Chains A and B, each alone.
Chain A
């Protein structure tokens, strides 16, 4: 009986993290039709910036309680600087060209950022877990859990709702939707499409950095975190149907719970879980859970 509780809790924890790291990716794809490989690097930048800022913050003697705001600040800092930079300087040049070509560009960028990070932060591992420890523990079915991961769940839900609300309720959202529907027409009807793109990409970048920044306190931030995270984000986004936020949420839950189940019931399958889910989902639904095939007008 407890076992089920554990699977549920651990599953949700992992799912929250998965959702947080894939949200930005799926959003950017939804708007710009760009599969952003540099997403992982933005995540890494967020993680490094988050840990180093919190470190300075705490060394300066400020209370840990406020460090969460610092993490948020770090995410915004990265997102608002690197995001527009990448979009304006590089992506801008090859929109509307082949999807794969843009993907390739972001891959080259991610290669470079990997070393840029190394040059800025060095290779020494950052383990800044004060924000993680500060929230203390809570007992669930007789087992102690750190509270921090549940904060992560909260942030994931908040971020998801925020993005969803922005898309559904705000003018910017409606602009974005119109651009998704038809770039030409919305451009013709006076929408500043390039600007929408910049905003959208920046928002995606912030989300990526947010994932990194709030993951930082629970991991040792070392070179290579980008590579590890990007394929997970791809998988979750693909399962949900690229571009679909609710899809990413369901996908994350699916993978999260299945992985937790694997750990608790069949540890040998841990490695396989996510790709098995992905293969099965895509076999049953070729465009992901919430994806739609584009029908050609004739």
Chain B
């Protein structure tokens, strides 16, 4: 019996905007797919992108990174650091053979509950279409693990 593939998503979100936004999704009872596991951080600036690779290494099929909109960072500039590092990091994950479509980088404010739901749904559907992520071997080659 072949079970339909259900992707595993890991979300790295900041405590002030996106985590709060996701809370609002709950308070507003907006439904979304249950595939995502949230890692709460103080700020997207805290994201060490090795964590993203680790997430894939540990069997995530997709990753969501989301924090405050530009200028809205609770810590003034954390999200800018995150964005800058993401720009560099994109190329790396591309290099290690992770389809960029598996990673979503987004801004969601504390007031955008509905946006969180649609972000999770879109990413889940996209990754489900891409199928399970299996190229961990390539990661190993890239010296992770």
Partners in one complex: no
